Chains A and B, each alone.
Chain A
Amino acid sequence: MLLRGSHVIAEAAVRAGCRFYFGYPITPQNELTEYMANALASLPDGVFIQSESELAAINMVIGVSMTGKRVMTSSSSPGISLKQEGISYLSGQELPAVIINTMRGGPGLGNIAPAQGDYLQATRGGGHGDYRTIVLAPGSGQELADITRMAFEYADRYRIPVIILGDGMMGQMMEPVEFPDPIDPKSLPPKPWVLDGAEGRPSRIIKSLILDTSAMEEHNWKLFRKYEAISREVPEMEQFLTDDAHLAVIAYGTASRIAKGAIKRVREMGLKVGLLRPKTLWPFPKRILLQMSRTISDFLVFEMSAGQMLEDVKLSLEGRGRIHFYGRPGGIISTPDEIAKVINNIYFKEGLERE
């Protein structure tokens, strides 16, 4: 099927057994909301509400998630800021949910052009309190489909909100996609913690208020242990032409597509350059990156921001390798030629060996 990115996410969500969607209009991701409106209207168990605000949407997500059913919301940067209250509650209450952020230029109202300025917000929790969310960064149409399916799996497996971090370019881009078989929501394993009326069992509470400080500490450590397990089990990184590389570009999402184009160009000139593309931004694939530093001396972090993932690269490499940065914030989309020039510059300046 040939579909634009926003529609791929929506279709993949429905096929993952998601029958509940709540959202508020915001550019550049309205196509996703509109697709869900159509798709869920045609399903007998589908529920779509255009909410009065992003705050309302994320709180409706909380309500559905409490009943154990797969549920999604989507927005773009300013709207995601509003959802952070609910994301913090979902985290504290250990509720699964999938949240799509089609990033745009910021801060503030910014613009509607593709950008990657919400990296730190997404990977550092984003709302109040000591928590993390799984953050997935698709790099192609096919991956939008696959990652959306995974997002629901992870959300249920770890009882955690999962954020798919894309941008307007990803959302509009049309590529051929093969979808996995649809899941019947009724076939999903029952969750033993849901609220559905306490018929025939003791009543349950889902809450995040823990007034006793020792109990609150233990809850935080419990979350921490979960995050540790996720950090071991979930990180993923695509490696492209890295076997013989002296320099690796590190980029995710749309930036990684631009970087790939640039790498193909400089490879033709005999420069040994590869790409490292994190598919998970939290947990960041730091172990893989650290391993790469045995053979790669130079790392160029390329982001559509003033430098946010850069912090994770520095933390992961623990002082190994030379780290370079190139980024353009505000919704500017660099061209592959522009990045090729940047690579060239670094390559020659550092005196790296050519073929």
Chain B
Amino acid sequence: MVIDIDNLSLTFQTNDGPVHALSDIDLQIDEGDFVSFIGPSGCGKTTLLRVIADLEQPTAGTITVNGLTPHEARLKRAYGYVFQAAALYPWRTIAGNIALPLEIMGLSKAEQRARIAKNMELVNLAGFEKKFPWQLSGGMQQRASIARALSVEPDLLLMDEPFGALDEIVRDHLNDQLHQLWAKTNKTVVFVTHSIPEAVYLSTKIVVLCPRPGRIYDVIESDLPRERTLDMRESPEFLKIAHRVREGLKAGHSYDD
């Protein structure tokens, strides 16, 4: 088991009183899983991901990552994190950006070069090493940020709506690439999204969250085969899972406010 979350809650103290961002979360994520968190805005899906990454501290409950606390796991660089925006540093070339975590880890120059080449190849960016981020399209920037996360060579990849800002066509393309990447490397991926087709297409397990307080409404184990193609999105099995996700989102969403 890679991630084990037990009875976890997180309450933010704000000027307007406490906000229950997460409440009584129980979740297990196994090695090689592709898990999507889906839910409306404010349901705590990003917060949950940030708790796993030790970017937020839970106020109650326990969580382990690779059997360690999130803090220890972060210090051991157990995961790669992909943010909503590419967050590439504009003064570094693409290769320089991918080298950033490797420099911090203190790897040798030769090792850095080898990892940069390998991961740029993996996200189909070979040949763009010397370009600066602002010379690339949004999709390419996000791919570069994925290569940067992968270059740490983590077994766990945390992705926070990485394709949220991209258009449908680029998004399909990157989903396909991400799926192949996952199938090839057998990493564990935790993926935050609010797109139902994206979640169903990519995931082996879909966690539907609902807001106020942020909690898990449904956990759907996908029975789709591990190998997937974009055409599968028209198949009855796919639509059945998508329907269940949509029902979960509808039921969990309170429209009173």
A binds B: no
B residues near A, CB below 8 A?
none
